[in-house]
Structure formats: C-alpha cells, structure tokens
A and B are shown apart, each in its own frame.
Chain A
C-alpha cells in the first residue's frame, strides 16, 4: 500500500514536470497566439486633466492605442509618429490614445505629453490593470501582464474588435508605425 502511494507521488511529480515544460514552451513562444478579431477589453481611465475617458466613447471609430511609459525609449521614439498619425488620420474617423502605465500624472504630462506636443489624450493606468487586460494569457506568462504590453500598439475597429496587435504582428521595432498604418489603410479602404 505504501509502495503504491510512493508511485502515485512519483507520477504526480512527473506530470508536474511535464506541465512546467508546457508552461515554459508557452513562455518562449509568442508566434502561435492571435488576438485578431477578438473583442477588445473595455476600460475607463482618467486623462491628464482628471476627466474619465471610456472605451465606449470611441465605439464607431478606429482607435490606435499605444501602451507607454516615459522611460521606454521605444515609446519615446514612436511618440512623434503617433502624433503625426493623429494629425494625418483625424479626418478619417481614427482616434489615437496613449495609455501610460504606473506613472504619476505630473511626470507623464512633462515627459510625454508636453515633451512631444501630443494633442491626443494620454490616459493614466495607475495600477497597470488596463494594460494587463490586453495581454494574451499565453504570451510571456512568466512576466507581469502589464509588463508584457509595454511599448505595444493596438488597433481597434469601430465594432471594438482588435485588428492589429504589434506584440504579435510586428517582428521588429516599427517606430514609424508602417505596419500599423498599412493595416489601418487597408481597413479604411474596405469601408
């Protein structure tokens, strides 16, 4: 009887190892996951003026969301191009938002909004929960969910569905948002 218990424990240990192996395989792979066509999570966050901005307000428009921090060089490199995209596409029913993660309002205003003369809303995700809500479960599961999303771009269509997700759709850094704009142009052309 004791021997049987030992064997059950050993088998449990083996299965646990195999589960960990599967967990690690997921940690290494981001290519097999797709979020395209899935419903984007809804959110409400304050902007730098303290006004609550809700994703529901953007239904009926294309929305480009960039997840940023002020210390992220990729985010800073993209910021002028996001502003340019905002200027170029504002008459095409396209809205741009930055969701800044876990940083104080004054810092974000000075180092991001004012520094890059951003004319679109910058929202404050003070606990990272909104950024985390966009992170696919299977991508980099050993990292904090909000951390996975840093420097990512997301394109949401007027029905609230995700149409582009740079974390999965872009292999290289794309400061000029070439991939995102190509997707956006294609969607606008098909409307």
Chain B
C-alpha cells in the first residue's frame, strides 16, 4: 500500500505529459506564433523602431504583404489605436520566392522567421506607465501543395514609457 502514492504520481505525470505535448501539436495548426512576447521601453518624446518576430511553422509559408496576383490575400499587421503611443506603418522584410508549377512568376511569401519593424513614438503629452496594445497579424498560410483559410493571430505588445 505504501507505493500507491508513487504509482498515482506516475500516472498523473504520464497523463499530463501526453496531453500537454499532443495538445501543443494540435495548436500548431495556427501556422504562425509569436517568437517572443513583444515588450519595449520608450521615453517620452522618443521615436523607436520596434521589431516583432513571428515564427512560421516548418513546411508552411504565408503570403507576403505585397502579392503579385490580385486574387491572393496579403499578410497585414495592424494595431489598435492607443492614446499613449503612435504606431506607424509596419515595415515588412524582403519576401522569399516560392516557385510553383504552372506559374511563371514566383510568389512572394514569408517563411520560417518573419521580423516586422514597427515605428513607434510617444504621444505628446504622455503619462509614464506600462501599457498593453492589441496587435493582429492577418495571414493566409499554404504548404507546398495546398492552402488553408486565412487566419488571425491576436497578440499583446507591452510598452513601458519611462
């Protein structure tokens, strides 16, 4: 009877491990994740260029911010308006080229790590403090032979004004 607590613990550990790892894999169907939770510090009156990094799931790509076929859906990064900071137009990186059978011109896409630069300046006047700004990446993922519905990745960016 003395070993029962140990057996219980073992069963719990196995269950938690299995469920955690499996559910984590299923959630990867979001195709894009934040690399790190964005967190920045800025001084009043300062203007900064922030970098937000996204990880695109291995084997997949998303359409670039500018597409060469008007039918395709470009990636778009947006932020909710804030009273504390003014966020400028995102600067997207140079896209990769995805060559597809049957199409002469390669498709501009983003894959692996997507780093988007965002110009930020504080409002004037501004109160010091820490603020959360809601961001959203709208993207349409594909793999080598198939595309998936467009999706939104909602995230929060923490900005400390000091």
Contacts and interface: CB of A to CB of B under 8 A. Distances in A.
A150 B146 contact: yes
A104 interface: no
A127 B157 CA distance: 35
Interface residues of B, number: 31
Interface in A1-50: 3, 6-7, 10-11, 13-14, 16-18, 20-21, 23-24, 27
Contact of A17 (B22, B73, B148): B22
B12 interface: yes
B142 interface: yes
Interface stretch (A54-62, A117-125, A172-180, A181-189): A172-180
Contacts of B146: 74, 150-151
Given A21-B22, A73-B142, A111-B71, A10 B149 contact: no
A76 interface: yes
B105 to A, nearest CB: 11
Interface in A140-155: 142-144, 147, 150-151
9 contacts: A10-B8, A10-B12, A13-B11, A14-B14, A70-B71, A71-B71, A73-B107, A73-B147, A144-B149
Interface of A: 3, 6-7, 10-11, 13-14, 16-18, 20-21, 23-24, 27, 69-78, 80-81, 111, 115, 142-144, 147, 150-151, 170-176
